[in-house]
Structure 1
Amino acid sequence: MDALTELLDGPRARGAFMLRSTLAPPWSLRIQDEAPLTLLSMVRDEAWLIPDRGDPQRVGPGDMVVFRGPDAYTVSDDPATAPQIVIHPGQRCTTPDGTSLSEAMDLGVRAWGNDPDGPAVMLVGTYQMRGAVTRRLLAALPPMAVVRGDTWRSPLVDVLQEEIGKDEPGQDVVLDRLLDLLLIATLRAWFSRPDAAAPGWYRAHGDPVVGPAMRLLHDDLAHPWTVADLAARVGVSRAALAQRFAKLIGEPPMAYLTGVRLAQAADLLRETEATLDAVARRVGYGNAFALSTAFKRVHGVSPQEYRAGAATA
């Protein structure tokens, strides 16, 4: 398994918030829902994306946008249009002064907006639970990533647009999986762009020394790796590997391995019922105590607390 495959294997939407938004100008949405990740597909007309920090960007039909929370941002028909609608945590919708708009903006099954025949149409999918997206994925993304429609094409947008208005048994699961697939396709396209600000581990994937070393780590997290062992496997000196790895990725090999192991442990705790000892062994820790110590240092909670929080969410 390569680093990108492992990273993109992380998203697991559960009851994701999804809407087809139809809007007529003037319109402006202030998004401050604190969601960890939101995917926006511009289907028709144009919109302006205005982050609190950074330059506004205009998007048009076919463009895909990934917003990384919890930073707030505004989506509008024009940068000069003042926010008329505020989206709060839990997808609560109000005017700027707090008046509820939930009923006024409801246009049907997963349909929302100020005009059912409005020219602007967007598909929006929001991962509402932080545990649904790994910390490593969030850390690899900028606050706003835009993939232009003329640089990629995916049939998933059309499928999502067809499915989003249906109200059939199991529809939430269908939409969750479609959102996961669309996010993965979008991120793969974004990471592959020549001008993308891809993380160091992605750029290092093609390096003749660091690339094979990373694949060895990802293929066998349970192995008791040392820098010397890893260097011998890729045919370079220990010093050469350590220097090259740190230069390309931004951290030493063992620090990188620790991050990968703990991210994998978090996924296993969230997705499986494996015992803590079993999780520890699978990701290279000798016992549950060793994993718990490292996990709490990085995540701020114990593995048991993390699992309980994910189950409650």
Structure 2
Amino acid sequence: MTVKAVGRERDHVADVVGDIVAALRRGGVVYGRALLRAPWGLAFESRSIATIYVVIAGSCVLVPDGGQALRLAPGDVALLPSGAGHVAADAPGRPARTVRERFGADLEELSATDLVIEGDGPETVLVCGAYLLEPAPQHPFIASLPDVVHVTAGQMRGACLASAVHLLTTEVDQAGRGTPAVVASLLDLLFTYTLRSWFLGQPDQLVGWARALHDPAVGPALALLHDDPGKPWTVEALAHAVGVPRARFSRRFASTTGHTPMEYLGIWRMTVAARLLREGRAPLRQIARKVGYDSEFAFARAFKRVVGHAPGRYRAMHHREEGAASARR
């Protein structure tokens, strides 16, 4: 069977990255527009929050902790996929204050609020979006990304990213009923399209997961595992499905992802299970079957080994956190 016979022509990068983003996101989306007139500087501590900036007008610099300053121009997108600490400012070296110090509340408490800083210098307009990431289990794809993924307006590949940027900025500017749900979906798209555009912009430098997603055998195999994690997959079955000899497929999969096919299947199953536990109240036996376990005990043991908590405890912890967050709001 050839790769094409797997079932349909797919964009494996968008499919797999989109799955990972959706599985790791928890809670609501934080978003807003920032109207910042120089001088200004905002400091963000390292947290499990994926943050994305879209420059609408003016310019700014983004300085990740321990990294070099990046100049962002109109139309640029900067994504911090794993919540690295950073400073956003109008110029390098500008003194920076935290969001709480500057606005009296943490970022997640300011959703859909215009952030305004008045000064005597040039104005920068940003659309900012962020959402909490589940810290465990951390997906190896997220861990492999740089602290900042920067895509300039001139580097955007195809119409998808540019369209997502336009839709997001328009929705935030014209906020109305249903805007939070629309923005949540657009941020997921923007996250995915930004990564895809970044990958495609450096074809000669693809290593690790970037290479895996574009590999003609490994990419489709990842998509198959994501489509149906509960299926009793074997290395032989995956290799046959993508039309590559077993030994060659195993080597390519491990060399690009850092895991054997069955190791990755276990990671993805637990990632999916964690999301199901966070977002619903299905019985553990039902979740176990959905991710490929006939035995609830075997599932619980595997989940605790990967995540660090038993499934029931993990669910209770997250439901308590959500209850506390709702009470604060």
Structure 2 matches for 1:1-313, cutoff 5 A?
A: 2=12, 4-9=14-19, 10-11=21-22, 12=25, 14-32=27-45, 34-83=47-96, 85-87=97-99, 93-94=100-101, 101=104, 110-115=113-118, 119-127=123-131, 129-131=132-134, 135-136=138-139, 138-152=142-156, 153-166=161-174, 168-194=176-202, 200-231=208-239, 233=241, 238-311=246-319, 312-313=321-322
1:64–1:186 contact (8 Å) kept in structure 2: yes
Q: Residues 136 and 307 of structure 2 are in contact (CA less than 8 Å); yes or no, is this contact kept in structure 1?
A: no
CA distance in 1, matches of 2:75, 2:209: 29
Alignment length, in residue pairs? 298
* C-alpha distance in structure 2 between counterparts of 1:247 and 1:109, whole Å: 43
SS in 2 for 1:18: strand
> Identity, % of aligned pairs?
35
**Residue segments in structure 1 that go unaligned for 5+ positions in a row:** 88-92
Distance 1:8 1:189 in 2: 13
Going from structure 1 to structure 2, the CA distance change for 1:60 and 1:260 (only over 3 Å counts) comes to same
Which stretch of structure 1 is more off in the superposition, 145-154 or 67-76? 67-76
- Contact 1:3/1:201, CA 8 A, preserved across alignment: no
Deviations 1:175-216 (A, max 9, x none): 322322322222222232225976634423444544454444
Kindly tell me: are residues 309 and 191 of structure 1, through their superposed partners in 2, closer, same or farther at Cα, counting changes over 3 Å?
farther
Listed as ranges, the gaps of 5+ residues in structure 2 are 1-9, 323-329
Distance in 2 (alpha carbons) for counterparts of 1:205 and 1:108: 33
Instruction: Tell me the CA shift for residue 231 of structure 1.
Output: 4.2
SS in 1 for 2:28: coil
- What CA distance in whole angstroms lies between the structure 2 residues aligned with 1:207 and 1:227? 17
Q: Distance in 1 between matches of 2:162 and 2:315?
A: 35
CA–CA distance in structure 1, aligned partners of residues 180 and 230 of structure 2: 36
Greater fraction of residues in helix? 2
Seen in structure 2, the aligned counterparts of structure 1 residues 28 and 141 have a Cα distance that, compared at 3 Å, is same
Shift in Å, 1:39:
0.7
TM-score w.r.t. structure 2 length?
0.77
C-alpha spacing 1:75/1:256, structure 2 compared with 1 (3 Å): same
Q: The residue matched to 1:20 in structure 2 has which SS?
A: strand
